[in-house]
Structure formats: structure tokens, C-alpha cells
Amino acid sequence: MQDVWAVAFRVFSAFALALAGGVISSITPLSHERLCRLISLAAGTLLGVTIFSIIPEVYEAIPHLQLLLALASGYFLFWLISRYVFHVCPACAASHFDEATTHRFSEIAAAMVIALGLHSTMDGLALALGKESELAGGLDFSLLLAICIHKVPEGLALCALLLAAGFNRFKALAWVAAVEATTLLGGAIGLWLSPQVSDIWLDTVIAHVGGGFIFLAIHAVFGELMKHGRKSVLVHFTVGVLLIAALNLALRFV
């Protein structure tokens, strides 16, 4: 029961931070330059948690080929969705949301909800499995930090897109809440899944999520590098990676 409340706290925190990002965007819109910095920082934390937490933790727990296939499947799944449905992360693809895209919002709304809903579900699933896995510890804290940091610019970017598409403030926030609520769904699925399958498959799912994080990080950084100054993007991205590395190093001595 204690783990249920712990997982609930994590997924509700992530949901609340995404919603807070939406509220901030609706009240005081950020310049794209500032949003770009947040996106780059968040992308760095996602890559950092994969490199310094997920891969080292599951490396000894599952066969190496299975680890590589899980990472590749997570990356490929998000690539397919972004290529043929819609960008799986509004923050990671902020530079792609040009004026034409917002004007066509009614045409792409269903695809956007499917793609972003899947992305947020995976966030909630990662938070739940990171807590429930026998590998929990440094992995749990790293996942929580990385996803929570990522949720703020995600909410900011999603609300900004909706406002640009002509939605009023309250309707835009309602959409943000509805889409991000799938984070809670992912947490519930993780709680249900964890006692149903063996630890080796739980660790495989976590590795699969890590592959998705790699896609999001690369997609975000290269998207912003093509549109904006390299120095700011790379500095904030590096800070995000080093933040997770430092956290993992500190937890080893706790």
C-alpha cells in the first residue's frame, strides 16, 4: 500500500508540473528563446537518466541483446509516431509548430491527442515501474527528477500551441489537463503490470522507455540547433545531462 501512495505521489507531481507549465504559458507567455533553454535542459535530463540510470541498472539484469532491442524498440516507436502520426512531444518539437500548423489545428487535433497521450502514458509508466522495480533507488530518483523537469516545458509548449490555434485560456488549459492526465493512466498501468510479470520483463519495459527518452532528447536538441543558437542549446543540454550524472554519483554515497 505504501508503494501505491509513493507511485501516486510521483505521477500526480508530474501531472501537476505539466499543468503548472500550461498555467504559466496562459498567463505569461514565454519567448521561444527561454522555452528553448528549458527544452534543452529537459532533453539533457532525459538522455542523462537513460545513460546514467536506466542502462547501468538493467545492464546486469537482462541479456545484452534484449537490452539493445528494448532501447531500439522505444526509439523506433516514437520515431514512427512522430513520422506518421504527430510529434510525440510538443516541447521537443516546439520549433516545428509554425503558424501553418496552428491554423490547421482542427485537422490534426485527434492525431495530436493520440501521440501526446501515448508519450505521457509512457512517462507515468516509467515513474511507476521505476518505483516498483527491484532496481529502484538511484533509478527511481533520477526518473522522477528527469520526468518532472521535462513536464514543465511540455505543458508550456502544449498550452502555447493551443492558444496560438485560437483556443481561449480556459479551454487550452482543459486540453492540457486532459492530455497530461494520461500520465496518471500510465502510473495506474504500471501499478497493475508490476505484480503480473517477472522482473526481467519489467526491466525490459524500463529499457524500452529509455529508448523513447533517447529519441526525445535527440529530436529536441537537433530541432532547436537548426532553429537557434548552438551555444545556448548545447550549454543547457549539457547541464541537464550533468545534473543527472551528479545525482547518480551522489546517491552512490548515500
Cβ atoms of residues 49 and 143 within 8 Å: yes
Cβ 107 vs Cβ 100: under 8 Å: no
- Please give the single-letter amino acid code of residue 69: L
Nearest to 126 by CA among 252, 45, 6, 7: 7
| Among the ranges given (34-43, 93-102, 153-162, 243-252), the one the predictor scored with the smallest mean pLDDT | 93-102
Q: Quick one: cell of 194?
A: 508490476
Question: pLDDT tens for residues 152-190?
Answer: 988 988 888 788 777 899 998 999 999 999 999 999 999
**Which residue in 115, 126, 127, 73 sits closest to 91, CA to CA?**
115
| C-alpha closest to that of 172 among 60, 64, 24, 71 | 24
CB 168 within 8 A of CB 159: no
Task: Name residues whose C-beta falls within 8 Å of residue 144's C-beta, 6 or more positions apart in sequence.
Answer: 10, 13, 14, 127, 130
pLDDT in tens, 14-67: 999 999 999 998 998 777 778 788 888 998 999 999 999 899 888 888 999 999
Q: Tell me: pLDDT of 254 over 70.
A: no
CA 184/CA 190 separation, integer angstroms? 10
User: pTM here?
Assistant: 0.87
Q: How far is CA 20 from the centre of its chain?
A: 15
Residue 195 has pLDDT above 80, yes or no: yes
The chain-wide mean pLDDT, for the chain, equals 83
